[in-house]
Structure 1
């Protein structure tokens, strides 16, 4: 298995994998996101490939300079998403992707790697724990529509 940084030459593999985790509202949305990641200095994505260059999974990350829940430092490397194809789970693919993200974060001057997941996504919580993440807090987000009549 090898881990490659997202590039124009492997964008098609990444979009196929990413669509499995986040079906985009349009056919070109993931491709546009990928092109932005390739151009950006504060975004990255890594792709896990088998010996035949078949995509096994990916990890998207960013550098966040604003407050990140549970972190005490800034900037923070933030895992925006991770996905491993169902047939490849439990084989160390996610660990190798996280190792690549950690190395990238260190290169960018980060001392912490953070992530989040939904309260009801117990599988993701278990994966995060297995990858060495420690739970820092749980939050419930609220919103209220603003109208002129109070």
Structure 2
């Protein structure tokens, strides 16, 4: 397997993989979000993991966040916005390769922390993050009030 930085040419596969991770949005909505992100260089980076046949088997997206990120000691920080690995190839090092690519990208920008988050109920994601070397820093419940 190989990890490559995604480009505009990868729009369709990135949208499809994003939809697998975040199915509440239609593929077209994912495509529109990616196009929007590409219009602002540096806002978002995506990596694809491809197998020996050239098929995309996973992806990761990251950004640089300058606002406060829970549990971090520095700012800005790299933030793993999303990661997805197709089920047949899980637990075979794909997520590790993707996170390593994100970490290398972050280090190249002079960043010293990589953060991420997961829903409180998503214990599978918690276990994956721990296996990838992340440490849990906080648990948060968010609130809002309509005005």
Q: TM (normalized to structure 1)?
A: 0.91
1:122 shift after superposition: 0.4
How many residue pairs get matched? 146
Matching of residue 4 in structure 1 with residue 12 in structure 2 = no
Distance 1:5 1:72 in 2: 28
* Partner residue in 2 for 1:105: 106
* Partner residue in 2 for 1:75: 76
* Partner residue in 1 for 2:35: 35
Alignment of 1:1-150 (within 5 A): 1-23=1-23, 25-39=25-39, 40-146=41-147
1:23 shift after superposition: 2.2
Distance 1:70 1:139 in 2: 11
Runs of 4+ in 1 over 3 A off after TM superposition: 24-27, 36-39
Between Structure 1 and Structure 2, whose CA radius of gyration is higher?
1
1:2-56: CA deviations, max 9, x gaps?
A: 1111112222221111111112534421112222343421310101101111110
Q: CA distance change for structure 1 residues 17 and 27 in 2, over 3 Å: closer, same or farther?
A: closer
Paired residue secondary structure (2:73): coil
User: 1:6·1:38 contact (CA, 8 Å) conserved in 2?
Assistant: no
In structure 2, runs of 5+ residues without a counterpart are none
More deviation, 31-40/81-90: 31-40
In structure 1, runs of 5+ residues without a counterpart are none
Distance 1:35 1:2 in 2: 24
Q: CA RMSD in A?
A: 1.3
User: 2:60·2:80 contact (CA, 8 Å) conserved in 1?
Assistant: yes
Distance 1:65 1:103 in 2: 19
